[in-house]
Amino acid sequence: MTETLANKLVEAMMDANRDLAHDLLETYAEEHGYLQAASRILEPALVIIGEKWESSRDVSLAQAYVAAKVAGDFMTLSASKEPASQDHKNRKGTVVIGNIEDDYHSLGRNMVSIFLEKDGWVVHDLGNDVLASEFVDKALEHEADIIAVSAMMYSTAMNIRKVREELINRKLQDKIKLVVGGAVFTLRPDLVDEVGGDGTALNAIKAPEIFNTIYYGMKQKEAL
């Protein structure tokens, strides 16, 4: 039953039918609880869309945006109806996220923030045109594990190197990791190394994967 519902949710999101998606999730949540709705319906549906987006690239930005909105709607709803369902947020790390200096293309960043929050991350969004020093200052202030930096174009992506330099200068490279993203990295994955990134995601829905991999890798290293 849950598999069928998850598939129906995928269809609703692919048809950009936000209301139907909302109804499917709320109906299930009213009966089984919001945590169950998140783990059994929403999460599998997002995994399906994320895989489709990554493998065949036949998911458009509009469909992914609808998926982000549905996830955002559901988080808001579950927070108001069942506050306890939000407790799992403490289980993951903290991230500060923003668009790098001179970059104003916020759409991707906003979508990544939603999917990270849904996955249990505490997200501090710094907005557009964020200087390297501000990224690191805010990461220290919020005790962040990861700095996530977005850029759309090659010219602005190059400014991300300043964040890496800032981390090195303050001897923080082992304590705070740098995840980079944006259209230019999808087109040119080699840029991740060039700007000093520790990783990237191919799309917003799949973003939590790389954050989790890096985060648990850090925790494992700390435990040794």
Partner 1 sequence: MFTPFTVASIGEAFGSQLVFFDNHPPNVSVPGCKSAEQVTSLAKNPVIQKKSMHFLMEATGYMKKYNNNNAAIGGVFLSPVDLPAIIIGMEGWLNTLLFEEREANLILESMIPFFVNSANAFLEAGAHLLILPLAFCNPHIVTRSMVEKIMIPVLKEAFQQVQGPIVLHHVGLPLSPFLEPLKDLPNVVGYALDSTDSFSKARQTLGAAPVLLGNIDGPTLNRQSPEDIMARCQRVYENRKNDRHFILATSGADIPLQTPEENIHALVKSASVYGMEHPHETE
The site for partner 1 (CB under 8 A) is made up of 14, 16, 18, 57-58, 60-63, 65-66, 69, 102, 104-107, 110, 128-129, 153-155, 187-188
Which CB, 82 or 102, lies closer to partner 1? 102
Which CB, 144 or 148, lies closer to partner 1? 148
Which CB, 7 or 128, lies closer to partner 1? 128
* Smallest distance, partner 1 to C-beta of residue 67, A: 11
* Smallest distance, partner 1 to C-beta of residue 61, A: 5
* Smallest distance, partner 1 to C-beta of residue 71, A: 15
Specify burial of residue 122 (Cβ count, 10 A radius: 0-12, 13-18, 19+). Answer: middle
Which CB, 36 or 106, lies closer to partner 1? 106
* Smallest distance, partner 1 to C-beta of residue 62, A: 5
Which CB, 16 or 47, lies closer to partner 1? 16
* Smallest distance, partner 1 to C-beta of residue 52, A: 13
